[in-house]
Amino acid sequence: MANPAQTDDVDEQTVTPWTVRGGEKGIDYSKLIETFGSQPIDAPLLERIEKATGQKPHRFLRRGIFFSHRDLQLVLDNYEARKSFYLYTGRGPSSEAMHLGHLIPFVFTRHLQEVFDVPLVVQLTDDEKFLWKDLSLEEVHRLAYENAKDIIACGFDVKKTFIFSDLDYMAQRPEFYQNILKVRKCVTFNQVRGIFGLTDSDSIGKIAFPAVQAVPSFSNTFPDIFGKKKDVLCLIPCAIDQDPYFRMTRDVAPRLGYMKPALLHSTFFPALQGSQSKMSASDPNTSIFLTDSPQAIKKKINKYAFSGGKDTVEDHRKYGGDTSIDVPYQYLTFFMDDDKRLAEIKEAYEKGEMLTGELKQILIQVLQELVAEHQRRRAEVTDEMIREFMTPRKLNFSS
């Protein structure tokens, strides 16, 4: 079976949970929608979201950062019929320092939780990172708890949010492993190889892992929250690199009598070097981390952020900058909420009235404030709060 994670021209573009590589002009997201078989988030859908929620769509939706979906109409049908759904997202705890890219799904999920008033489960795949990285079980488990602090610092409502480490939850609730087994019985090695590009020499741990990321999509994996109900619809916000897991999940769900999860896919927060690749934790110079100091943020942006400006001030004034490839401008589209201000910056930069150094300075200030605020909120997360978020329990929500 062909690997749908790769488009026809393998050198052009690859998007899997482990590799994200675009062509010269960056990642072609329309092509991804085509090859993955998802749906674009278009203007009528945005209007429907606005009508259903009574709120202007989040900037990530307005600006096409969340650009693709599966079954979002069904989620809105449910919501309009006053039937509850739940949110599911996750993080693979491979390092203490999360970067700005990792924040995207969590910022958006928090917004969705607030707007729709729904429960949320957050999976920390410490088991995945044990299998893929050279890390001990103790270390991945510790990192799960460190990352939980960053997730809590995003402002989730403790009464509606359950965060779990796979290593913990596997020992706490038999329903988790039971669902994993059901998925494993339905998926062949051939399918896993096709979907994820795994090979004969990958460990059997890696081959069996996708079932673990699949089952939080099924409501009866969480008996404390949903009892025995298996028909509560799940909506998963994530970057599009995680889609292979959920293509597999959607394929097996009906065979198990479960609902297919719905998805909302985001584009990637690009590496400092440009939008051919995503920000990656394994190369510190591609990323701004949530642990970076104001000085480090300034230095990285000034030194590494790829500019769409011209080589000389004279040329820049004459021809203007190219915002479609300019990383500082792209970063602002993710984090500057004010549409009017952003449009002014775009215009001034494209006309050559604003120089690269000035644009970078605006971004430095926005990110220094954002990261400092995150660090302040993280420092306020106590052990007691972590324990509360991470204890299997009933959640409060209207159903």
Q: Which of 41, 151, 239, 301 binds ligand TYM (CB under 6 A)?
A: 239
Residue 363 C-beta: closest distance to ligand TYM, Å:
16
**What residues contact residue 125 under an 8 Å CB cut-off, 6+ apart?**
90, 91, 92, 93, 166, 209, 212, 213
Minimum CB–partner distance for residue 366 and ligand TYM (Å)? 17
In this chain, which of 180, 233, 238, 354 binds ligand TYM, going by CB under 6 A? 238
Instruction: Out of 150, 175, 241, 326, point to the residue binding ligand TYM (CB under 6 A).
Output: 241
Map residues 110-149 to x or -, x wherever contact with ligand TYM holds by CB under 6 A.
Answer: -------------x-x--x---------------------
Quickly count: other Cβ atoms within 10 Å of residue 184's Cβ: 17
Question: Is position 242 an interface residue for ligand TYM (rule: CB under 6 A)?
Answer: yes
Rounded CA separation 366/50 (Å) = 27
Q: Are strands 262-266 and 233-239 parallel, antiparallel or unpaired?
A: parallel
Of 86, 91, 77, 79, the C-alpha closest to 113 is: 86
Least distance CB 62 / ligand TYM (angstroms): 17
Backbone angles phi, psi at 117, to 5 degrees: 55, 60
Beta strands at 120-124 and 161-165: parallel, antiparallel or unpaired: parallel
In the list 26, 57, 92, 261, the residue contacting ligand TYM (rule: CB under 6 A) is 92
Total residues at interface with ligand TYM (CB under 6 A): 24
Contact with ligand TYM (CB under 6 A) among 36, 145, 258, 269: 269
Can you tell me the distance from the alpha carbon of 219 to that of 148, in angstroms, rounded to the nearest whole number?
Answer: 22
Nearer to ligand TYM, 26 or 309 (CB): 26
Residue in 141, 160, 250, 278 binding ligand TYM, rule: CB under 6 A: 278
DSSP lists the bridge partners of residue 237 as 264
Pick between residue 68 and residue 266 the one whose CB is nearest to ligand TYM.
266
Closest to ligand TYM by CB, 116 vs 334, is: 334
- Residue closer to ligand TYM (CB basis): 278 or 316: 278
Residue 150: both structure tokens together: 């960053």
Q: Which residue number places its CB atom closest to ligand TYM?
A: 92
Sign for the CA dihedral angle at 281, 366, 266, 7 comes to negative
280-339 positions binding ligand TYM, by CB under 6 A: none
> Cβ closer to ligand TYM: 219 or 242?
242
Q: Concatenated DSSP letters for 90-130?
A: EE----S--BHHHHHHHHHHHHHHHHHT--EEEEE-HHHHH
Instruction: Check binding of 89 to ligand TYM (CB under 6 A).
Output: yes
Contact between 38 and 242 (Cβ < 8 Å): no
Dihedral sign, CA of 52, 55, 56, 57? Answer: negative
Name which of residues 93 to 112 contact ligand TYM (CB under 6 A).
Answer: 101-102, 104-105
123/220 with CB nearer ligand TYM: 123
In the bound state with ligand TYM, the residue whose beta carbon lies nearer, of 278 and 360, is 278
CB 257, min distance to ligand TYM, A: 22
Specify whether the CB–CB gap between 244 and 195 falls below 8 A. Answer: yes
Q: How far is the CB of 131 from ligand TYM (least distance, A)?
A: 11
Report in angstroms the alpha-carbon separations of 73 from 175, 233, 238, 278.
29, 12, 17, 29
x-marked contacts with ligand TYM along 158-197 as a string, rule CB under 6 A = ----------------------------------------
64 — phi, psi (to 5°)? 70, 20
Task: Give the Cα separation of 194 and 16 in Å (integer).
Answer: 12
Q: What are phi and psi of 181, to 5 degrees?
A: -60, -40
Distance (Å, rounded) from C-alpha 10 to C-alpha 16?
Answer: 12
Q: Does 27 bind ligand TYM (CB under 6 A)?
A: no
Binding range to ligand TYM, per CB under 6 A, among 52-60, 82-90, 366-374, 391-399: 82-90
Question: Which residues contact ligand TYM (rule: CB under 6 A)?
Answer: 17, 88-92, 101-102, 104-105, 123, 125, 128, 213, 236, 238-239, 241-242, 266, 268-269, 278-279
